[in-house]
Structure 1
Amino acid sequence: MSTSTTPAAAGALAPDRPPTLRRRRSSAAAAEERAAYVFLLPWFVGLLFTVIPFGVSLYLAFTDYNLLQSPQLVGLENFTRVFEDPKAETSARVTLTYTFVAVPISLVTALAVAMLLNKGVRGLKFYRSVFYLPSLIGTSVAIVMLWRSIFGYGGVVNSFLGFFGIEGPGWVTDPDWALVTLITLSIWTFGASMVIFLAGLRQIPVVYYEAAAVDGAGWWRQFRSITVPLLSPVIFFNLVLGLIGSLQTFTQGFVFSGGTGGPAESTLFFNLYLYQQGFQRFDMGYASALAWVMFIVIAFFTALNFLVSKWWVFYDD
């Protein structure tokens, strides 16, 4: 009488894998793990260079420290001083004005140019490079100095206006126009957002626009009902990066005003005031408190964006 063995029984009766094969596989897994740690090592080193200064800065924020004496604990005195300091209030107002004017206009400009380039113009790569270039060099010291020269007394802008009999304002020396000049510089560097918008527009299927056109939808209805909803994740991404970058503005105000925040504190950004307290007056405790206030403000606006995004950002799922 013959007996048949089922596949499950045959598998159960089959001998285990050779010990040599198991050792080879465990050795390969260990080698991959070691390789992973080697590639992660730069990140761990960078984390140390971030976490340690964070901790030291948080400690100094509760001290009176001027680099010459040992830190003396003062509790919440530095943070209380931030909210009582009129210059801190002025710098916060300048920074928020700059952010909430420059970022929206820059995003609208970037999206408009991206939509024009998305029409399939000739020389797309050339135009994309031309528009992207200012975003690479717009925050450099040389470009800010050039911008100051262009808008300064006898500069190109006022000379051009004078050709038509128009007397240009003091773009650099007038407190009412100095911040406007820096906002214009920020808008001029819209190239990075434009490239990201252009990539997002290329991902929207053309069939949606074709179907909308058949139904009689005009360009504005197509923009509201197709472009904006499907591009909302990209808009959200550029908005968050733009807010964080603008709130941390320093180089433009420092170079433009020579480190003073002038004229009449019209370009005294919060980070510039922090720099003045820490590296000109050597009040490191107060400067650390200012830095943590800025960190909390940036975290608040970032969290607020993520909170409200569920009402206007749409994903495929």
Structure 2
Amino acid sequence: MTHDPTPPEAREPAPTPTALLALAGRVIRGLRAALHEADGSLQQASVAEVASALGELSAGLVQLQQAPAAEGGGGLELEELRGQLQAAHRELGRLEERRRVEAELRDQLRLARADTARLRAEERGHLTRTLELERVRAQLEEARSEVDTHRAEVDRLRARLEETAVEAGSREEALKQLNALRLAHEEQAARLRCAEFLNAELRQELESVREERDRLVKRDPDADAEPVARQVLEDRARLEGERDQLRADLRVLEESRRYQSRRLTRYQQRIQDQEQALHELFSELRVLRGAEDGDDPRARTDALSRAQLQAVLDNPIHRPALRQEPEAVDPEAPDAPLREALPSLAKDEDSARQA
């Protein structure tokens, strides 16, 4: 208890225990009302008012203890007043504890709002990725349409090739167009696979982001959001690594396509060389037919025997080229067996094309 330096004659009369008990009851009711407010928040004015009343109650208790005992029963009222004062102190402690807890909750709410703002920014980024996904889907549909168009073009050229296989020039041109369209078809197929890979990657990332967003919306706002943010960053890094791996695989496929294109070019060159050899063979055949008629003295020094010529004609690789020069077969020529063999050789064009 503090000592009051005021002279006894200047002091105010000490309050009665009944008045102090009424004041203590008012203080306790004020504390309880502050602790049970409807909105769950503590007002600074209410706390200050209760603290002032509690100080007034403490001062009155000091004056009552320093004053001489009044009527009988004052000691019991003083003890009751002390109990009320201790209860008021306990209520005030609870009030201060609640203010501290409310301040902590307010800080956590501010952090949660900051996390919410950051997550909204990330959601806007994911919406951008969603738009990119839609664009990739449109490109995928366009690539599929182009593939279908090229397939129809290939089928049309195949039919035309079958119709014009008799003409060597048309056949060579059709083969060139077919090879060019095959290369374009392979390129479009590679683009389609790349678009499908990217589509699957973006779809998976979008589903993951949607699940994470739903979970964040349903979670407790007082919970710590740092593990969630860290998980989102780890998932983003993992998806970027998978995207880089897919791009590396696409580069490998592109190198393989170029290698196959070079091989096709070499095969075309070999076909041209074989066709040139067949042209030379037909020249030798015309020389032989002229020698049999007695028009060419080179028949006496012929280096290509009839058996060797028949072996060359029996080779399936050379059968398609025999139809390039039908005018070389003379109906009046004496080599009737060879002329009769030519239609059967021409029918094997499909097997020769496969060979």
Pairwise TM-score range, normalised by the shorter structure: under 0.3
Bigger relative contact order, structure 1 or 2, given CA contacts below 8 A and separation 6+?
Answer: 1
TM-score (ref. length: structure 2) = 0.23
The structure with the greater share of residues assigned to helix is 2
TM-score (ref. length: structure 1) = 0.25
